[in-house]
Structure 1
Amino acid sequence: MSWKSVLASCGLLFAGLLPASAAGEGGYFDWANANGLVGVFAEPDADLDQDGITNLMAYAFDLAPVNDPEAWDKLPTLAMIGDPPEPVMIFVLPPEIPRDVSYVVEMITDGGKRIEIARKNGRGGWIGTGEISRQKLEDGCTQVTVQIPLEMEIPEVAKPLRLRVEFQP
């Protein structure tokens, strides 16, 4: 298997742009520069192609920042598993996790309050009260699954879990 097929299987090569891991260890702004993003278009909250995926989300999940037709398929998903069904947040982290990004899973209560249940700061370990499981994939990526803590009641809201990405310059 070539390195290009390994990268593509992890969702890293799109639209001829380099992924975060190919930009080196420099961090977000080196990634933005390597992908031709300048000025206001290089800001973490910018969305040049207006697809709803900010530069920071593209960087955190090693996607191309513009014109990536498969990007939505590679972002986190909320699934219901078990009997009775329980909400689970599932996502895949790239082989090279950015040092300047935090991944935060929040539970939304029936009253709309957000409670942090899992956090990963850069390349550090996961912390939080949520049930966190990780599985290393053949392509070097890591699939992460986060469930609501066993002692907490499952909210009756439509989307009780969400993943937030924070920039930590």
Structure 2
Amino acid sequence: MRFKSFVAACGLLFAGLQVASAQDGYLDWAEANGLAGPFAEPDADLDTDGITNLMAYAFDIAPVNDPDAWEKVPSLAFIGDPPEPVMTFVLPREIPRDVSYVVELVKKDGKRVEIARKNGRGPWKGTAEVFRRKLEDGCTEISVEAPLDMPIPEGESPLRLRVEFLP
């Protein structure tokens, strides 16, 4: 059985990928992209690019060898004087209903505090400033800034984006 899964997964490298709609859900997306067995697990990363299947699904990225993948994943920038961290990412035209997008502030002690959350197609909630900009292709660019009353720890990545399945 594992050999069949491996052969199916390797076939992805050469075959054109079929994209399932976000309305269909993660399992349908995985099947439409030829992922089976352990390669269909949300935490799997078949092409070892650092983007798990769940992140690929949440950001409309092909799970194997997507040339535009790194343009679609979240980025962190420091803007202003003094520089404040801003997390920016693009949500697909059709936001999956079965995932949550969670932005966290990483404190000095390493603990994380949730500052923004979007459950499926619902509204953003939390204490962060969330800015939206509709793009020409129908996608939405999101920028998240930490609340002004929260101290920002020094370091390379004070903001973190986590994607999780909705309960």
Q: Normalising to structure 1: TM-score of the pair?
A: 0.86
1:1-169 alignment to 2 at 5 Å? 16-19=16-19, 22-23=20-21, 25-168=23-166
Larger radius of gyration: 2
Hey, what's the Cα distance between the residues in 1 that align with 2:164 and 2:18? 22
Cα pair 2:87 2:143 within 8 Å, conserved: yes
TM-fit CA distance, 1:115 = 0.4
CA deviations on 1:125-148 (whole Å, 9 max, x unpaired) are 000001111111111000000001
Distance 1:97 1:24, change over 3 A: closer
TM-fit CA distance, 1:168 = 2.3
For structure 1, which runs of at least 5 residues remain unmatched after alignment?
Answer: 1-14
Hey, what's the Cα distance between the residues in 2 that align with 1:80 and 1:58? 25
TM-fit CA distance, 1:64 = 0.2
What amino acid maps onto 2:83 in structure 1? Answer: P
- Root-mean-square deviation (Å): 1.3
Identity of aligned residues (%): 73
CA deviations on 1:94-134 (whole Å, 9 max, x unpaired) are 00000001000000011111000000000110000011111
Cα pair 1:44 1:56 within 8 Å, conserved: yes
For structure 2, which runs of at least 5 residues remain unmatched after alignment?
Answer: 1-14
TM-fit CA distance, 1:50 = 1.2
CA deviations on 1:39-80 (whole Å, 9 max, x unpaired) are 111111111111111000000000000011331222000001
Give the paired residue count. 153
Hey, what's the Cα distance between the residues in 2 that align with 1:66 and 1:84? 39
Q: Normalising to structure 2: TM-score of the pair?
A: 0.87
Cα pair 1:18 1:64 within 8 Å, conserved: no
What amino acid maps onto 1:154 in structure 2? Answer: I
What amino acid maps onto 1:16 in structure 2? Answer: G
Cα pair 2:22 2:94 within 8 Å, conserved: no
Hey, what's the Cα distance between the residues in 1 that align with 2:111 and 2:152? 13
